[in-house]
Amino acid sequence: MAVDERERAQRVLSFALDVAMQMFRQGIETAVIVRTVRGLASAGGVADLRISVGVRAIHLQYCGGAGEPLVLFGSVQANDARDIGRMGDWEALAVRAAAGTISPAEAERDAGILAQAGPTWPWYVSLLGGCLLAAMICLQANGTVLAAAVSAGLFVFANRVGWALSTVGIAEFFQVAAKASTVLAVAISLLSLGVLTGHEAASLSAANLVLLLPILSLVSLVEDAVGDFHLMAAARIVTVLLLTGAIATGVMVVVSVANGLDILGEASRVQLAALPLALVPVTALVGALGNAILMGTPARWWLLACAAGIVTSLANWTGRSVLSLSAPVSIFLATTVLGVLAAVVSRTLKAPTAVVTIPGLTGAVLPGPALYLSLSQVFARVPGAWDAVAEAILATAAIGVGVVLGLQLAALRRPDTAMSGAPLG
């Protein structure tokens, strides 16, 4: 290819690769990242681009004619953290750049500013969302108001323990194990001091350990597997197993020391409250709002996040209560509705799909409590516990499949968007 064409292609693909790497860091779906790269390349006049996705890495190859092909490669360290505000910023920048509403120089300048930007919310604001979730899950596990209040405070304490370890370079495995140990140690201490009953201690420990489970990584794993990004899916399997093992390690360390208190036995006997229809949208609203704040959703999108949680919860309730479907099938149908809703909303309101999908699924259908309680039953050797674990894992996998199907069904009505490479947001 000519020198001028090669330099132009180099600049276009370098920018596309930089955007892709930042999207990986923000936890944006792999399929969206690939579409974004194709869209930016197409807008810059780079056609017939070959893209290969590795483990949080992208390999780009372009042959514009005779001569040596142009090859670029970028990768980032493992990171499943999500900041929905920053997700939206990067998707919006990619859309503007692909549409030509800003010049290449302006796009590169804006990308540099975004790369240096901090999280959407200060850490203490995000923690408020986690406190809300910890209290709500505790109440769902039939905890008392006192246990819910303590659960919120315990979430903050455990989070700060993990943060302190991260500042001195301790690996994430040990951070998660320390958080799990902290949760159980505090619960056992309050139980032994008579501040809480056995059931209260079990419900608040369940709520906080649920929030440590890598459920969203498991959902992303399924999304990548369904989307044929198999190396990414394999990497997420390692992440899920590692973090789940870290939680189990932290729990077993404390249990082995305090073997006179049957905290796992108490946890295995915790029952999730069966909610009447009137409370289904309320709990979904609280859960979606808590997750939205925890994951850095800007305030202008909170109402949208809550609406997504309510719609998904009602769809799931209809499947379970009206159609008498099993939990995995009902969740699959509900998240398919969520995926379609996310695609439609992102087109009409110019919001990233993550604003709808993440709060919607975490607030309404995420089977974290069921997965934790089934695992605690395994530790307590309750008969049939493995069946409950299998159902919870299937329900989690159904989330990823449903969301991907919903997004693809919505894209069928707009083949121009599906082929252009532009993100759905």
Which pLDDT tens digit goes with each residue over 263-317? 555 555 656 656 678 888 888 888 889 888 988 889 999 999 999 999 999 999 9
Question: Which pLDDT belongs to residue 425?
Answer: 37
**Do residue 384 and residue 364 come from a single domain?**
yes
Asked whether residue 424 carries a pLDDT value surpassing 50, the answer given is no
- The single-letter DSSP state of residue 375 is H
- Residues 412 and 281 placed together within one structural domain of the fold: yes
Q: Return the CA Rg of the chain.
A: 23
Per-residue tokens: 388: 């409950």
Residues 158 and 268 in one domain: yes
Helices (H), 141-262: 145-167, 172-192, 198-210, 215-226, 230-257
Residues 95 and 129 in one domain: no
Tens of pLDDT, residue by residue over 119-159, are: 888 989 999 999 998 888 888 777 788 989 999 999 999 99
Residue for token pair 């499949």: 401
Whether 157 and 266 share a structural domain: yes
CA distance 373 to 361: 19
Domain match, 135 and 89 both: no
Say whether pLDDT at 258 is over 70: no
100 and 171 inside one domain: no
Lowest-confidence segment of 102-116, 243-257, 360-374 by average pLDDT: 360-374
Q: Are residues 299 and 257 in the same domain?
A: no
Asked whether 205 and 183 are in contact (CB, 8 A), the reply is yes
Check whether residue 330 and residue 284 sit in a common domain. yes
Determine the structural domain holding residue 81 and report its residue range: 3-116
Residues 130 and 217 in one domain: yes
Q: Last residue of some domain: 225, 258, 273? A: 273
Domain boundary, last residue among 273, 295, 327: 273
Q: Which of 342, 375, 56 is nearest to 220 (CA)?
A: 56
What local confidence, expressed as pLDDT, does residue 333 receive?
94
The distance in angstroms from the start CA to the end CA of the chain is: 34
Pairing of strands 70-75, 57-62: antiparallel
- CA–CA dist 205, 209 (Å, integer): 6
How many domains does the structure of the chain reveal? 3
Amino acid in the structure at residue 40:
L
Core vs surface per residue 4-15: b (16+ CB within 10 A) or e: eebebbeebbeb
Question: Do 295 and 415 have their domain in common?
Answer: yes
Residue type, 147: A
Last residue of a domain, one of 116, 135, 166: 116
Q: What is the pLDDT of residues 369-416, one digit of tens each?
A: 676 667 667 766 777 778 877 887 888 888 888 888 888 888 776 544
